[in-house]
Structure 1
Amino acid sequence: MKQIIAACGNDCSVCPRYLPKTAEELHKTAKLWYKIGYRDKVVSNNEIKCTGCKPKNWCRYQIIQCVSSRKIANCGQCELYPCEKISETFRKTMIFEPNCRKTCKNEEHEIMKKAFFEKKKNLDNEF
């Protein structure tokens, strides 16, 4: 599958929230989010399911609102890249990586790495 790069640099084409097709797969993702610390409990399938990057959706780092106002698809397409907002996003995202490495199976960690922990690499390739 071709990469689908989100506003913040996530790779949706490998994302456990974007890809699931069944309720069981979504629940597995909710348990993974809890395990690595993205959530403080196992959330419902409706809460974990990805509905895409849209200004009306909740965005942990407020990136979607910024890129939407600039009429670009992601931060890598911005003339101000890398700004402080995306640099802070990179830093905050990487806080979860050590716990992911420690608590996840190798396969899960690799998926999370490609989906979330390579934001900067994905965006650097956009310009």
Structure 2
Amino acid sequence: MNKMIAYCGLDCEHCDAYLATMNDDQELRKKTAKLWAELNNAPILPEHINCQGCRVEGVKTVFCDSMCGVRQCAMKKGIDTCGDCSELERCSIVGAILENNPSALKNLKG
């Protein structure tokens, strides 16, 4: 599977944190930090918006690196993505992502 597909099925190449990192785009970092801070009710600053992809070597956002339950679960199980997990269809950890992002499920099953 494409290494730029995250454990949850989202495509890292379309993530604003990834795009801001790859393009060193400070305005996109500011915009993303503001949005993510509001969505997560957390103090996320532009300098936190640095990520080279969920499943590749390199820098990750603090959330993706240490707070993402999906990533932690997949790594603990030693699976490439949630698509390799027998519990995918009934998983409460990745469920909300898949509900809101139909393309993520397609990526996992593809």
**What TM-score, normalized by structure 2, do the two folds share?**
0.64
Match of 2:18 in 1: 18
Task: Return 5+ residue gaps in structure 2 as ranges.
Answer: 56-63
Residue 66 of structure 1: SS of its match in structure 2? Answer: helix
Moved over 6 A (4+): none
Identical pairs, percent: 31
* Higher-helix-fraction structure: 2
Q: CA contact under 8 A between 1:3 and 1:13: conserved in structure 2?
A: no
Q: CA separation in 1, counterparts of 2:28 and 2:43? A: 13
1:5 partner amino acid? I
Alignment RMSD:
3.0
Residue 49 of structure 1: SS of its match in structure 2? Answer: coil
**Change beyond 3 A, Cα 1:71–1:89:** same
Task: Return 5+ residue gaps in structure 1 as ranges.
Answer: 95-115
Match of 2:95 in 1: 87
**What TM-score, normalized by structure 1, do the two folds share?**
0.58
**Change beyond 3 A, Cα 1:56–1:18:** closer
Q: Which has the higher contact order (CA 8 A, sep 6+)?
A: 1
